[in-house]
Amino acid sequence: MFEMAACGLLRTLDNGVIVRVNPTFCAWVGRSAEALVGRRRFQDLLTMGGRIFHQTHWAPLLRMQGTLAEVKLDLLHEEGASIPMVLNARRHEADGVVVHDIAAFVARDRDTYEKELVLARKRLELAVAEAERLQEESKDRAHFAEQMIGIVSHDLRNPLAAIAMGAGLLADGDLSEEQRGAVERISRSTSRATRLIVDLLDFTQARLGQGLRVSAEPTDVHAAVFHALEELAVVFPARKTTHVRIGSGPARADAQRLAQLVGNLVTNAFAYGAQDGVVTVTSSVGSDLVALAVHNDGPPISETVQRTMFRPMERGTTDSHHPRSVGLGLFIVREIARAHGGSAEVTSTASGGTTFSVVFPRR
C-alpha cells in the first residue's frame, strides 16, 4: 500500500532526513528514491519561503501538537519547477526513534483557484477604491456646482431688482398701448426670473444640508395666502383663482415662505391644469393643524409621475406645449412644508382633478 499509494508518502527522522519514500512522491519531485533516502532532508526540497515556514512553524507545531493537517507548501522539482502541494504530517516513535510520516497531495488546481481568488479580490479592492474615488469626486463637483448656483443666483437679484424698478417707473409714465404692453412683459419676465432665482437659492441651501430657513411667528394664514394670490393676479391677469377660508386664528408660520409655497403651487396649476379653469386655493386653520390645498381641473397625473414629482429636477410632464421649468417648484414646496414640521402630497384623478396639499402643526 505504501509503494502503490496514489499520494506521495515519505518518512523522515526528527531532523528531516528522509528514510523512506514511495514512487509517487519520487515521480512528482523528479528524483529517485536512492537520491533522497539518507541523502536529503525534507526541508531541502522546499522553496526558500517553505524552508522558513518549516523552521518557524512546521517543526515547532509538530513537536507541540504531534500532527499537522492541510499545510500548503511549494516543493521543488529536480529541474527547478515549483510544485504546490498540500501536506499532512504525524510525529511519533517507531522502534524507539522519533519519525515524521508525511502524506503529500499535488494541488495545482487548488493553487490556481486560490491565486485566481486573490487576484479577483485585488481587482475588487481596486474597483471599490476607484468607485469611492469617483463618488468623492462627483460629490465635490456637485457641491461646487451647488455653491456656484447659489453665488450666481444671489448676484443676479440686484440687477433684476433694478430692472423691476425701472419697469415700474416706466409704467407710471405716458405710454402708448404698444409701449405699455412691452413694459408689462418686462415686469412679468422679471418677476418670473426673480422667482426662479429664489427657488435656486432655496434648492442650493437645501442640498448643501442646511435646510430651508423659516422665521416662525404668529401669522394670519388666510391673509398670507390672500396677498400671495394678489401678487399672482398681477403676473397672470388672464387666469382666475378662488380663495376658500376655513377656520380662524393665528398659527406659528413664516408668512413669506407660505406665500412662496402658494405661489409655486398656483403657478404649477396654471401651467399644467385646464387653461380655462379656475384654480381653487383653500387655507384651513384647525385646532392643531394648518392645511393649504391648491386644486385645478385638467388631465390627471399618472401614479408613476406622482411618486417622483416632489424630487428636484423632476417635471410633471414631458409635453413640449407646457412652459419649460427646471423642476424645482414642488421640491421647494416639500422643503417649506418640512421646515414647518409638516408634509406635502398630491392626489390626481380624471374625475376629481388634481390637488396639492400641505399640512403642518398650527403651533
Q: Are residues 160 and 88 in the same domain?
A: no
Identify the band that residue 93 occupies on the pLDDT scale cut at 50, 70 and 90: very high
pLDDT, residue 297, reads 94
Averaged over 183-199, what is the pLDDT?
Answer: 79
With a CB cutoff of 8 Å and minimum separation 6, the contacts of 67 are: 88, 89, 90, 91
State the CB neighbour count (10 A cutoff) for residue 3.
Answer: 8
pLDDT, residue 212, reads 74
Q: Which among 302, 281, 299, 247 has a CA at the least distance from the CA of 356?
A: 281
Q: Are residues 148 and 44 in the same domain?
A: no
> Which of 26-40, 47-61, 186-200, 261-275 is predicted least confidently?
186-200
Q: Are residues 128 and 96 in the same domain?
A: no
Instruction: Evaluate whether residue 131 is within a structural domain.
Output: yes
pLDDT, residue 255, reads 92
CATH number of the structural domain spanning residue 349? 3.30.565.10
Q: What is the DSSP letter of 57?
A: I
Q: Are residues 45 and 67 in the same domain?
A: yes
> Which of 37-41, 76-80, 156-160 is predicted least confidently?
156-160
278-285 vs 240-246, strand pairing mode: parallel
Share of the chain above pLDDT 70, in %: 88
Range of 352's domain?
A: 217-361
Q: Which among 172, 336, 190 has a CA at the least distance from the CA of 259?
A: 336
Give me Rg for the CA atoms of the chain: 41
CATH number of the structural domain spanning residue 25? 3.30.450.20
Averaged over 258-276, what is the pLDDT?
Answer: 91
Q: Which three cell numbers stand for residue 320?
A: 413640449
Q: Are residues 343 and 237 in the same domain?
A: yes
Averaged over 207-222, what is the pLDDT?
Answer: 80
pLDDT, residue 50, reads 92
Q: Annotate 159-178 with three-state secondary structure.
A: HHHHHHHHHHHHHCCCCCHH
**How many structural domains comprise the chain?**
3
Q: How far apart are CA 336 and CA 224, in angstroms?
A: 15
Task: Among 54, 80, 106, identify where a domain stops.
Answer: 106
Instruction: Evaluate whether residue 46 is within a structural domain.
Output: yes
What residue has cell string 406645449? Answer: 321
Instruction: Evaluate whether residue 111 is within a structural domain.
Output: no
Q: Above 50 in pLDDT, residue 77? A: yes
Q: Report the amino acid identity of residue 170.
A: L
Q: Are residues 158 and 248 in the same domain?
A: no
Task: Among 207, 229, 255, identify where a domain stops.
Answer: 207
pLDDT, residue 9, reads 95
Identify the three-state secondary structure at position 104: strand
Instruction: Evaluate whether residue 52 is within a structural domain.
Output: yes
Averaged over 336-342, what is the pLDDT?
Answer: 92
Q: How far apart are CA 349 and CA 355, in angstroms?
A: 9
Contact (Cβ atoms closer than 8 angstroms) between residue 115 and residue 97: no
Contact (Cβ atoms closer than 8 angstroms) between residue 104 and residue 7: yes
Q: Which among 77, 145, 130 has a CA at the least distance from the CA of 106?
A: 77
Instruction: Evaluate whether residue 137 is within a structural domain.
Output: yes
Q: Are residues 45 and 134 in the same domain?
A: no
Q: What is the DSSP letter of 39?
A: T
Q: Are residues 202 and 225 in the same domain?
A: no
Q: Which among 220, 269, 251 has a CA at the least distance from the CA of 342?
A: 251
Averaged over 289-301, what is the pLDDT?
Answer: 94
pLDDT, residue 166, reads 85
- 160 CB-contact burial (10 Å; exposed 0-12 / middle 13-18 / buried 19+): middle
Q: What is the DSSP letter of 40?
A: -
Instruction: Evaluate whether residue 196 is within a structural domain.
Output: yes
Q: Which three cell numbers stand for residue 257?
A: 415662505
Identify the three-state secondary structure at position 100: strand
Contact (Cβ atoms closer than 8 angstroms) between residue 355 and residue 348: yes
pLDDT, residue 138, reads 78
Q: Which three cell numbers stand for residue 183?
A: 413694459
Instruction: Evaluate whether residue 285 is within a structural domain.
Output: yes
- Report which of residues 358 and 176 the model is more confident about: 358
Q: Above 90 in pLDDT, residue 33? A: yes
Q: Are residues 89 and 123 in the same domain?
A: no
Q: Are residues 236 and 317 in the same domain?
A: yes
Averaged over 11-15, what is the pLDDT?
Answer: 95
Averaged over 53-63, what is the pLDDT?
Answer: 93
Instruction: Evaluate whether residue 337 is within a structural domain.
Output: yes
Q: Are residues 148 and 273 in the same domain?
A: no
- Residue 281 pairs in a beta bridge with 243, 294
pLDDT, residue 158, reads 72
Averaged over 69-87, what is the pLDDT?
Answer: 92
Q: Kindly report whether the global pTM for this prediction surpasses the value 0.75.
A: no
With a CB cutoff of 8 Å and minimum separation 6, the contacts of 358 are: 261, 291, 292, 293, 333, 336, 337, 342, 343, 344
CATH number of the structural domain spanning residue 138? 1.10.287.130
Q: How far apart are CA 25 and CA 75, in angstroms?
A: 11
Q: Are residues 225 and 190 in the same domain?
A: no
Q: Above 80 in pLDDT, residue 201? A: no
Q: Above 80 in pLDDT, residue 141? A: no
Identify the three-state secondary structure at position 191: helix
Task: Among 106, 141, 174, identify where a domain stops.
Answer: 106
> Which of 13-17, 106-110, 241-245 is predicted least confidently?
106-110
Phi, psi of 168 (to 5 degrees): -65, -40
Q: How far apart are CA 125 and CA 131, in angstroms?
A: 10
